[in-house]
């Protein structure tokens, strides 16, 4: 009788252990199914993680917003001793993303990145305005405060043209200055590379003068193929101590007062940027130059041309003598008249 009781007790314990094993296995299976199941999303959801946030706080927020409906993910995070702090920023959760995918997203810190473009030929204040127009950029600079911009860039003069034209990626609340500092660093690297590979015998004293020339080339023509020719004209004029006589520098010197109509009077009013009244390069760049314009400024086209005139179709006619140039001016300017 005693043996029978012991046998049945052992059978009962075995059955109980089996049931417990099955129950645990079932719970584990259900646990993993929850982790592998899609989040409760029909559309994308932007999760904002504040500084100092941890997984617990984030998951409670997602429960309140009905993105997840159980604590399994929280148990998973705690059991695996995942990082307590998550990179601050915005995270995009998309329909079909699983709980495990969410954890990976947060662990890798793959925050939403935005884009903003700085265009070639722009002035610095136009670049700042473009940054301020983007809702994800944190504005800190005053585009009209020249002295503050000089101090922000650590320069002794207004930092015109000192940022590289490019599309920049950034996270929300990145400041305008941070983006411009990246753009300036890129411009510095490109300019130094161009300076190191420049043609021999060019009339530049520094990479900054290359930048000034490149900005003039950028404003003189929108045709990349013409930029080396424009560069060659200006460099030969500098070498022969001729005035550059380029309208874009005059217009830059007029500033906000320019109404779009350049007159003979404007060409006679002396400013540091009037290359009709002063020899040499102007004191600063007049715009943001492109990579091609920088390349053209250090690799000018060879030739004898000292003049050029717009043909009206976006291109220019180049002349070696003043007589030829005057004839071209008469031809192409008269063709513009009704």
Average pLDDT rounded to a whole number, residues 288-300 = 97
- Structural domain of residue 242, as residue ranges? 199-334
| pLDDT bracket for residue 23 (50, 70, 90) | very low
pLDDT at 284 over 60: yes
pLDDT at 331 over 50: yes
Q: Which of 54-68, 75-89, 126-140, 268-282 is the least confident region?
A: 75-89
Kindly report the average pLDDT of the chain as a whole number.
85
Residue 25 lies in a domain: no
pLDDT at 115 over 90: yes
Residues 140 and 248 grouped into a single domain: no
Residue 19 lies in a domain: no
Q: Among residues 112, 130, 148, which one ends one of the domains?
A: 112
| pLDDT bracket for residue 19 (50, 70, 90) | very low
Average pLDDT rounded to a whole number, residues 5-30 = 49
- Most confident of the ranges 63-72, 99-108, 291-300: 291-300
pLDDT at 78 over 70: no
Residues 37-62: pLDDT tens digits? 677 778 888 888 888 778 888 888 88
Residues 131 and 91 grouped into a single domain: no
Which runs of consecutive H residues, i.e. helices, occur in 221-319?
227-239, 247-254, 264-268, 291-298
Q: Which of 1-15, 126-140, 175-189, 297-311 is the least confident region?
A: 1-15
Residue 12 is predicted with a pLDDT of 53
Residues 170 and 119 grouped into a single domain: yes
Residue 13 is predicted with a pLDDT of 53
pLDDT at 293 over 50: yes
Residues 91 and 121 grouped into a single domain: no
Domain CATH for 75 = 3.30.1490.480
Residue 166 lies in a domain: yes
Q: Among residues 130, 165, 189, which one ends one of the domains?
A: 189
Residue 12 lies in a domain: no
Q: Among residues 189, 216, 234, which one ends one of the domains?
A: 189
* pTM summary value: 0.81
| pLDDT bracket for residue 83 (50, 70, 90) | low
Residue 1 lies in a domain: no
pLDDT at 338 over 50: no
Residues 103 and 118 grouped into a single domain: no
Residue 27 lies in a domain: no
Q: Which residues contact 294 (CB under 8 A, 6 or more apart)?
A: 190, 191, 194, 210, 211, 214
Residue 274: Cβ-neighbour burial (10 angstroms; 0-12, 13-18, 19+): buried
The count of domains in the chain is: 3
Question: To 5 degrees, how large is the angle CA 116–CA 121–CA 125?
Answer: 65
Task: Read off the tokens for 247.
Answer: 């309208």
Residues 183 and 302 grouped into a single domain: no
Task: Read off the tokens for 294.
Answer: 């920088």
- Cα–Cα distance between 139 and 127 in angstroms, integer? 12
Residues 151-168: pLDDT tens digits? 998 888 899 999 999 999
Residues 88 and 125 grouped into a single domain: no
pLDDT at 9 over 60: no
Average pLDDT rounded to a whole number, residues 261-270 = 89
- Cα–Cα distance between 186 and 207 in angstroms, integer? 14
Buried b (16+ CB within 10 A) or exposed e, 138-169: beebebeeeeebeebbeeeebbbbbbbbbebe
Which runs of consecutive H residues, i.e. helices, occur in 133-259?
146-153, 176-196, 207-220, 227-239, 247-254
Residues 217-252: pLDDT tens digits? 999 998 999 999 999 999 999 999 999 999 999 999
Residues 216 and 172 grouped into a single domain: no
CB atoms within 10 A of CB 333: 12
- Cα–Cα distance between 93 and 168 in angstroms, integer? 23
Residue 268 lies in a domain: yes
Residues 94 and 123 grouped into a single domain: no
Half-sphere exposure of residue 273: CA atoms within 13 angstroms, side-chain side: 18
Residue 159: strand, helix, or coil:
coil
Residues 212 and 320 grouped into a single domain: yes
Residues 161 and 281 grouped into a single domain: no
Higher-scoring residue by pLDDT: 110, 79: 110
CB atoms within 10 A of CB 276: 17
Is 268 within 8 Å of 277 (Cβ atoms)? yes
Residue 26 lies in a domain: no
Residues 194-204: pLDDT tens digits? 999 999 999 99
Residues 145 and 89 grouped into a single domain: no
């Amino acid at each position: 009788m005693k043996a029978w009781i012991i046998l049945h007790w052992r059978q009962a314990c075995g059955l109980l252990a089996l049931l417990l094993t099955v129950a645990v296995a079932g719970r584990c299976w259900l646990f993993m199914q929850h982790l592998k199941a899609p989040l409760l999303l029909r559309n994308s959801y932007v999760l904002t993680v504040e500084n100092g946030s941890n997984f617990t706080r984030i998951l409670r927020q997602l429960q309140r917003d009905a993105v997840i409906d159980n604590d399994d993910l929280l148990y998973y995070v705690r059991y695996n001793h995942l990082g307590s702090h998550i990179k601050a920023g915005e995270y995009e959760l998309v329909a079909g993303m699983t709980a495990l995918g969410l954890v990976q997203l947060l662990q890798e810190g793959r925050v939403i990145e935005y884009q903003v473009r700085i265009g070639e030929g722009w002035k610095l204040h136009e670049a700042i305005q473009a940054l301020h127009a983007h809702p994800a950029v944190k504005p800190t600079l005053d585009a009209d405060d020249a002295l503050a911009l000089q101090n922000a860039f650590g320069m002794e003069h207004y930092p015109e043209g000192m940022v590289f034209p490019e599309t920049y990626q950034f996270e929300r609340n990145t400041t305008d200055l941070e983006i411009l500092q990246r753009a300036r660093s890129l411009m510095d690297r490109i300019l130094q590379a161009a300076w190191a590979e420049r043609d021999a015998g060019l009339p530049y004293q520094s990479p900054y003068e290359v930048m000034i020339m490149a900005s003039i080339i950028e404003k003189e023509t929108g045709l990349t193929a013409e930029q080396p020719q424009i560069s060659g004209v200006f460099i030969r004029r500098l070498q022969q101590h001729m005035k550059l006589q380029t309208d874009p520098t005059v217009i830059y010197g007029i500033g906000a007062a320019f109404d779009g109509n350049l007159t003979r009077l404007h060409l006679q009013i002396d400013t540091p940027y009037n290359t009709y009244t002063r020899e040499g390069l102007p004191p600063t760049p007049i715009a943001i130059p492109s990579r091609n314009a920088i390349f053209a400024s250090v690799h000018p086209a060879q030739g004898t041309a000292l003049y050029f005139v717009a043909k009206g179709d976006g291109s220019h006619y180049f002349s070696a003598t003043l007589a030829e140039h005057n004839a071209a001016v008469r031809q192409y300017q008269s063709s513009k008249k009704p």
